[in-house]
Amino acid sequence: MSVTKNVYGVLNGTSVHSFVIENKNGTRVQLLEKGATLDKLFIKNRDGELIDVIVGHDTLEGHVERGDYQGVVVGQYANRIKDGKFSVDGVEYSVTCNENGVTSLHGGGEYSSAIWNSEILGDNAVKFTYHSPDGTEGFPGNVDVSVVYELSEDNDLTLTYAATSDKKTIINLTNHAYFNLNGTGSGDILSHTMKINAKRYTPIDEISIPTGELASVAGTPFDFTEPKAIGRDIGADHLQLKNGNGYDHNFCIADYDGTLKEAAVAVADKSGISMTVKTTLPGIQLYTGNFLNGSVEGKNGIPMTQRCAFCLETQVFPDTPNHPLWPTCTYDAGEEYTSQTVFSFDII
């Protein structure tokens, strides 16, 4: 195993570093200080060729100017908060509404656009840290957050998150990597098979805010309890697929108890690469790149077209601060937030 550090680019006069972790299989993960980004993941396909399964940008300028959360760590509250409003102990907070001026999405982009501090740990891990001052984007608390990316010899990429605040606050951290397991630039992901370990999901209204229902997936396009092609039902006549413009929904992971559980398995038809996602968190968002429309060029100058990638974002349920019965996202002053998500890669 090895970790190497390089200068990736310069932003406002400051060098932004990249890190490459490599294992004995030749699997190579590239990470960036900007947004604590998962930038590249080269892995062998069934023919033994190394392919990059992360869709995104290949310049700092691309990440900064044209990014749509590709590969970044998102916080302080990943996903949506209705009207950007919530209460903690009776105090109402208003946070940045960066989605059409009405909804808070991905914490207003704070954590994902920050340049994080970095530290190499041993020969197979990198730790990123960020300090979010009290009130940034409207969120309470001085929050110290860290994420460690660790690659194993067995092609497990483990993300371990931690955060503490000096004031009671809400926290929801995720990684927003866009995957195409046939390789970036190889077309759409509709023929990947997907299995999601969820009997329920959180339906949304026409502006993607959860209705509050935990609906059964049975008999709907949202039933991924048995593996099926992502594209099989994506065009079905179903209100939720209209509301999301495709899949852009949170699934409630079965048997959630805070320990590491298998949440999803994706398998690519052409490369034979499979990815299993395990997490300690209660939810996972399947987003099928519905808002990508080919107007933005990604790696190698190839336009990022609709459905050229999917995201599996582990999280608490969207808008949890306004649903007190759902698994909590509220942490006392000094109480530590921790979570772990593992992406395991294999060939089938």
Interface residue list for ligand GLA (CB under 6 A): 68-69, 79, 105, 208, 248, 285, 287, 291, 311, 313
Closest approach of ligand GLA to the CB of residue 249, in Å: 8
- Spot the catalytic one: 106, 176, 192, 323: 176
What's the min distance (Å) between Cβ of 108 and ligand GLA? 13
Whether 176 is catalytic is yes
Q: Minimum distance between the CB of residue 282 and ligand GLA, rounded to whole angstroms?
A: 16
Q: How far is the CB of 107 from ligand GLA (least distance, A)?
A: 12
> Which residues neighbour 220 within 8 Å (Cβ) at sequence distance 6 or greater?
238, 240
Q: Which member of 22, 106, 313, 323 is catalytic?
A: 313
Q: How far is the CB of 99 from ligand GLA (least distance, A)?
A: 7
Residue of closest CB approach to ligand GLA = 287
Question: Residue 151 or residue 217: which is nearer to ligand GLA going by CB?
Answer: 217
Annotated catalytic residue 92:
no
Q: Indicate which residues carry an active-site annotation.
A: 176, 313
